[in-house]
């Protein structure tokens, strides 16, 4: 049974979002996939912003029909967008991940300067965490954020990589070390760096096997200076801000994985009921229908875990109490996406690996990023085990 944890208003919202995305995103999906068309992505972001969908996380800003908008509805948006085009979905997920700390932790002038434009789709943001030697292990972060008391400015030096919207974002939220004497992973802060800041450059854009159309690359900071009020929260509180952002991001990625998995499953399901071999539909073959059954079970598990985590967030669960449910949603959803994509290609045979015969090969390429981005599957399992084994200290 799909939508088991969703209320009637949630289901109505899903139908509404689906219609908007079919109108705005579906006609542009080919331009994004085949033409690497950033303008097409920006046009859909703007349409979603104008519709109010980028304000779902912020009840004080939202003016739509939902009585209690929240992460459940942002996750529904993510799922439905990823169903059509995961590359596009990464852009709005990044926009939401950027808006989240701005809304919660920015000073009033900075929040008012950037947040309305991001949630209304006029600006695009970026989150800068990963570095050449710091991925899941943020304790290895080398980017330095130093305070120049004489000029009341923060000075940023370092290199970030695998940054979504690198070079096309209007604003960057940058994490770095403000207290080098603190234990590894501590002494971090987050600052807001406007696009166009002197010393801000983009050395490289990456070419991925999938997610064509989204822009991902490196962001370098060569003594970039921002005023003191561009600090998010308090100095050395970046780790806490990051944990809140990661919980939020992992639940959104649950929606992403679910959308990609559903898209693959629908293709396999249709093919199994129409393709004939050896005198009957291939769905009659045990080796095919058993794979359909496996995919269906995993989809239901993904949906239950993802929307459980989203509902927990919306009920006020946060911080370490949300870490395990968020990690479980992310782990199962992204692994389900890769499983469904792989099995769909296998069921389709030659048609599954040929671009001329549909989207299966694109979904296969897109899905492979999901168990890596936003924290690897291995890291998600670690977070789950930490919660389940509280009396011992696990060794990564």
Residues recognised as catalytic:
249
* Structure tokens that stand for 241 in this block: 């801000």
* 82/41 Cα distance (integer angstroms): 13
* Structure tokens that stand for 368 in this block: 């492979």
In angstroms, what CA-CA distances link 336 with 5, 128, 262, 364, 375? 19, 27, 9, 12, 16
Terminal CA-to-CA distance of the chain, rounded, Å? 37
CA 236 to chain centre: 25
* 265/70 Cα distance (integer angstroms): 27
Q: Between the CA atoms of 235, 125, 261 and 53, what dihedral angle is there, to the nearest 10 degrees?
A: 110
Closest among 96, 58, 101 to 230, alpha carbons compared? 101
Closest among 306, 248, 286, 344 to 2, alpha carbons compared? 306
Q: Where are the alpha helices (DSSP H) in the chain?
A: 8-24, 29-35, 38-50, 71-84, 86-105, 108-119, 238-274, 286-314, 320-348, 360-367, 377-388
CA 188 to chain centre: 22
* 165/89 Cα distance (integer angstroms): 12
Closest among 161, 164, 222 to 197, alpha carbons compared? 222
DSSP annotation of 66: -
> Which region, left, alpha or beta, applies to residue 158 given φ > 0 means left and ψ of -120 to 50 means alpha?
left
Cβ–Cβ under 8 Å, residues 222 and 201: yes
């Amino acid at each position: 049974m799909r939508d088991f944890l969703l209320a009637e208003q949630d289901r109505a919202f899903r139908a509404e979002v689906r219609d908007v995305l079919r109108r705005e995103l579906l006609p542009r999906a080919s331009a994004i996939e085949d033409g690497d068309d950033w303008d097409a992505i920006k046009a859909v972001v703007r349409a979603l912003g104008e519709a109010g969908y980028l304000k779902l996380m912020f009840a004080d800003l939202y003016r739509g029909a939902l009585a209690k908008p929240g992460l459940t509805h942002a996750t529904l948006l993510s799922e439905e967008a990823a169903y059509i085009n995961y590359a596009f979905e990464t852009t709005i997920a990044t926009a939401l991940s950027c808006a989240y700390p701005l809304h919660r932790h920015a000073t009033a002038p900075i929040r008012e300067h950037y947040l309305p434009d991001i949630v209304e789709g006029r600006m695009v943001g970026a989150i800068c965490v990963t570095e050449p030697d710091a991925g899941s292990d943020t304790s290895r972060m080398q980017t330095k954020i130093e305070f120049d008391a004489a000029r009341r400015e923060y000075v940023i030096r370092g290199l970030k990589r695998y940054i979504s919207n690198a070079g096309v974002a209007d604003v960057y939220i940058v994490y770095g070390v403000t207290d080098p004497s603190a234990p590894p992973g501590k002494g971090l802060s987050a600052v807001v760096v406007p696009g166009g800041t002197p010393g801000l450059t983009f050395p490289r854009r990456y070419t991925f096997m999938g997610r064509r159309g989204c822009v991902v690359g490196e962001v370098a900071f060569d003594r970039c200076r921002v005023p003191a009020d561009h600090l998010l929260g308090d100095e050395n509180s970046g780790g806490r801000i990051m944990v809140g952002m990661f919980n939020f991001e992992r639940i959104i990625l649950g929606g992403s994985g679910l959308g990609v998995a559903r898209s693959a499953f629908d293709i396999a399901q249709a093919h199994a009921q129409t393709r004939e071999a050896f005198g009957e539909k291939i769905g009659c073959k045990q080796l095919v229908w058993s794979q359909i059954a496996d995919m269906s079970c995993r989809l239901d598990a993904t949906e239950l875990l993802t929307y459980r985590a989203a509902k927990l967030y919306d009920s006020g669960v946060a911080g370490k109490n949300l870490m395990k449910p968020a990690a479980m949603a992310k782990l199962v959803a992204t692994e389900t996406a890769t499983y469904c994509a792989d099995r769909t290609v296998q069921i389709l045979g030659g048609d599954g690996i040929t671009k001329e015969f549909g989207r299966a090969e694109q979904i296969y390429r897109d899905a492979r990023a999901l168990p890596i981005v936003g924290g690897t599957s291995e890291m998600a399992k670690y977070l789950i085990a930490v919660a389940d084994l509280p009396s011992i200290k696990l060794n990564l």
